[in-house]
A and B are shown apart, each in its own frame.
Chain A
Amino acid sequence: MAALLEASGIVRRFGALLANDHVDLVVAPAEIHALLGENGAGKSTLVKILYGLLQPSEGTLTWEGRPVTIASPAAARRLGVGMVFQHFSLFEALTVAENVALSLPASTPIATIETEVARLSRAYGLPLEPRREVWRLSVGERQRIEIVRALLQNPKLLILDEPTSVLTPQEADQLFVTLEALKAEGRSILYISHKLDEVRRLCDRATVLRLGKVVATADPRAETAASLARLMVGTEVKEARATAHATGADRLVVKGLSLPASDTHGTALKDVTLSVRAGEIVGIAGIAGNGQDEFFAALSGEVTGDPGTISLDGRPTGALGINARRRLGAAYVPEERLGHAAAPGFTLADNALLSGHATNGFVRRGLIDRGAVTAWFQRVVSAFDVRMSGPNPEARALSGGNLQKFVVGREILREPALLVVAQPTWGVDAAAAATIRQALLDLAARGAAVLVISQDLDELFAIADRLAVISEGRLSEPRPTPSLDREAVGLMMGGIHGVAA
């Protein structure tokens, strides 16, 4: 059968950088085609070209046998290409139907849209209530709005960028059913992911990109996860290995911690109790927006409360600020790299000062000791193999993986007694993720207490000794990871308790 879409010899340059280097891609009708690759492999550039957001420097696109130029997203939609981005563009204060209306001609009556949304959501198993405001919805439901928006254009090709990165396993399963239904209707799907298991389960073909080049086109069902990973990374990926280490006394103890929501869309913490022992990694699983941000703020001292609710090595720290807790040996890595963990426009040396000024001897009589800061920053860079463009670039100039290695590294090198880290490998390439996970394991092995708050279940199962789930501001009892099954944890993440016990 003729290909639906054929891209051949696509080249895209950004200055000196070759983001796509003679990429060929063929998507057949009624096919779920995976686009695999690490961060920075050129996947996003390629799909932006297919969706008309970027123009190729060289190469041709063929749509149903005809050569085409896709000048804009509008042109792409006219051809029949729809796209669901990883980051949603929804207005929280508007309803589902109103958000859909924004992508349609202004004359369409809202009642028509509501019935259309209801029809599509029934037809494809995408449960959505058209009149609900978006801020009330889960991430999975928000994604469904984006999919419905795309389906209203009746696309022949639907591009999905890392659709499951924010979903629970159950929500992901539901999405897969929808995608299979779309395929059965003869639509094609270009599925961008680096989660190998789901690609093997769902996709008919896979095109693997590495450093801007196509390195393989494979049948994912005929490959193993390990062989696909090898294609993606180019070398054997060292899987971080949890060593069963002796755990010691309680270092971090949280007792009956409650905290009101920070703003109207936040989540209040309700009676959270937890302890982390020396030498142990405890994982907190949960879908974004279930109180993780508030929990991190309370643990770090960005928000203070009753002294007795949190203690470190037996000392009450609940009322202390973040620097006082750092002086007691705590270290923190927040979820947002740019803007929270690091100041985007500041150099890396200044960003080393940012979290270390109270503890690392960087400041004498109010003046910054530039030599000490630079020496420390260089230690972090070499110990964690942070790749940079210059001797001391701004944080924003680093790739996600390298900046993450830096913000994790600057805390770990302090040899903290307690490390609280949120989303340690969010949006980080496989090699950097492996480095970071190994560093966390090594830190715990040296006797620190490590608390990992993450939405990535694979990660938590790989490194955590015990696992608890946070849902609507409540934390479940942590259990040893080997005794848990993924399905049960997924249900708990979705707020269904009791079943898991």
Chain B
Amino acid sequence: MRVILERRDDRPAWLSLASPLAAVTLTMIAGAMLFALLGKDPLAALKVFFIDPLGDGWALQELAVKATPLILIAVGLTLCYRSNTWNIGAEGQLVMGAVFGSWLALATHGTANGPWVLPAMLVLGVLGGMAWGLIPALLKARLGVNEILTSLMLVYVAELLLDYLVRGRWRDPQGFNFPQSVSFEPEATMPILFGAGRLHIGFAIAVAVALVAALLMARSLKGFEIRLAGEAPRAARFAGFGTARTTLLVFAVSGGLAGLAGIIEVAGPLGQLQPSISPGYGFTAIIVAFLGRLNPIGALIAGLFLALTFIGGENAQIAMRIPLDVTRVFQGLLLFFVLGCDTFLLYRLRRVPNLRTA
């Protein structure tokens, strides 16, 4: 007997819900095995990782803070991937959003200015991410350059530019030579949602963005265009939607949202520019987009779950001396299992008798 993958004729609805749940379960099992190999009690480690962060209000707020950039970026990537366009460079677009927005914060630093600064920073952040995202989009639309490579490589360009700025021109003169900018003025930081804590209005923005994106994908002609481009590119041309136009659109939107995530991160939890402003949100958001079934509401839920792995990883490091890199391992395992389980949405396993070669 051998086993082959056979294309499914039907696609039961329950499977598309069961697949991400199965992926999460398999990740937990693989994680438990990993902890056991490290000599830790697997159940205790999983509890520290996934249950404890949900225990108190502080941790829940922190969860939402971490989920904010993930949700924003993943919603943008959802549109991209739906249209069969592969933006892998959200991390770079995030950095450029942060750089563009921070420019205004630094330019107005120390001067008397009004409440317009923060909204203007957010707009600049969107524009910065959008501009960075449009580079691979234009290269693809005009010259047919593979967007996976260009968008990914531009991540490193953006990171080095940020590094140059915070070590050079934008370094805080009173910062004892630490590579970081001045702390932003209160007018240039995200307002906190509840009196105490770190939860800022960025989270509300992320939730609103996910809801609006879900509505537009389902109800607008643009959403139809994006879905059609991914489903049947030739039919999309027949519908009069140019391929190049769709590519530019989804890169602009996803780049803009990644840029927004970047400036919110800098103007929110960080409060200043540093050489490193993201623990890889732009890459983790790829997992969020797939775990969320390439659906904006799904991205909202999956963003919260992936945020849990960031916090759980920190917890596990403190409580059980488990290396922080386990977080990355978890995220990798999750993407692996999500894509693996999705295979069974399209295919089923069938056992066939061995054939002798004719």
Contacts and interface: CB of A to CB of B under 8 A. Distances in A.
Given A77-B358, A321-B240, A322-B240, A357 B224 contact: yes
B232 A339 contact: yes
B231 A368 contact: no
Interface string A339-364: 11111111000100111011000010
Interface in A363-379: 363, 366-368, 370
B234 interface: yes
Contact of A368 (B219, B232, B240, B358): B219
Nearest to B239: A354
A332 B235 CA distance: 12
Given A355-B238, A358-B240, A344 B232 contact: yes
B223 to A, nearest CB: 8
B222 A345 contact: no
Interface stretch (B92-100, B115-123, B167-175, B349-357): B349-357
Contacts of B348: none
Interface residues of A, number: 36
A323 interface: yes
Interface in B203-236: 219-222, 224, 227-228, 231-232, 234-235
Interface string A483-498: 0000000000000000
Contacts of A368: 219-221, 224
A343 B232 contact: yes
Contacts of B224: 350, 353, 357, 368
A332 to B, nearest CB: 7
Nearest to A300: B238
Nearest to B357: A74
Contact of A354 (B220, B235, B357): B235
Contact of B228 (A334, A343, A367): A343
Contacts of A342: 232, 235
Interface size bucket, B side?
A: 20 to 34
Contacts of A58: none
Most A C-beta atoms less than 10 A away, residue of B222, B239, B353: B239
Contacts of B221: 357, 363, 366-368
B237 interface: yes
A117 B242 CA distance: 46
Nearest to A345: B231
A78 interface: yes
A344 B220 contact: no
Contacts of B353: 71
Contact of B231 (A326, A343, A370): A343
A388 to B, nearest CB: 15
Nearest to A342: B235
A346 B239 contact: no
Contacts of B219: 367-368, 370
Contacts of B232: 338-340, 342-346
A414 B265 CA distance: 52
Most A C-beta atoms less than 10 A away, residue of B219, B231, B232, B238: B238
A328 B222 CA distance: 23
A342 B358 CA distance: 40
B231 A346 contact: yes
Nearest to B221: A363
A81 to B, nearest CB: 12
Given A302-B238, A358-B240, A366 B220 contact: yes
Contact of A322 (B231, B234, B238, B355): B238
Most A C-beta atoms less than 10 A away, residue of B221, B228, B242: B221
A321 B235 CA distance: 14
Given A71-B353, A344-B231, A357-B224, A78 B358 contact: yes
Given A71-B353, A343-B228, A343-B231, A366 B237 contact: no
Contacts of B231: 343-346
Interface string B235-279: 101111010000000000000000000000000000000000000
A336 interface: yes
Contacts of B220: 366-368
B6 to A, nearest CB: 13
Contacts of B240: 301, 321-323, 326, 358
A72 interface: yes
Contacts of A322: 237-240
A441 to B, nearest CB: 25
Contacts of B355: 72, 74
B358 A340 contact: no
B258 to A, nearest CB: 24
A323 to B, nearest CB: 4
A336 to B, nearest CB: 7
A336 B242 CA distance: 19
Most B C-beta atoms less than 10 A away, residue of A73, A342, A346: A346
B237 A357 contact: no
A445 B353 CA distance: 59
Interface in A303-352: 321-323, 326, 332, 334, 336, 338-346, 350
A358 B228 CA distance: 15
A300 B232 CA distance: 18
A358 B221 CA distance: 10
Nearest to B228: A343
Contact of B238 (A71, A334, A363, A367): A334
A340 B356 contact: no
A29 to B, nearest CB: 24
Contacts of A336: 234
A325 to B, nearest CB: 9
Contacts of B235: 339-343, 354
Most B C-beta atoms less than 10 A away, residue of A326, A340, A355: A340
A222 B182 CA distance: 98
Contacts of A343: 228, 231-232, 235
A162 to B, nearest CB: 23
A69 to B, nearest CB: 12
A351 to B, nearest CB: 8
Contacts of A321: 240, 242
Contacts of A367: 219-221
Contacts of A300: 238
Nearest to B237: A302
Given A339-B232, A367-B220, 7 more contacts: A71-B353, A74-B357, A326-B240, A334-B238, A336-B234, A343-B228, A368-B219
17 contacts: A73-B358, A74-B355, A77-B358, A322-B240, A339-B235, A340-B238, A342-B232, A353-B224, A354-B228, A354-B239, A357-B239, A363-B221, A366-B220, A367-B219, A368-B219, A368-B224, A370-B219
The 7 closest A-B pairs by CB, nearest first: A74-B358, A323-B240, A343-B232, A322-B240, A343-B235, A340-B234, A343-B231
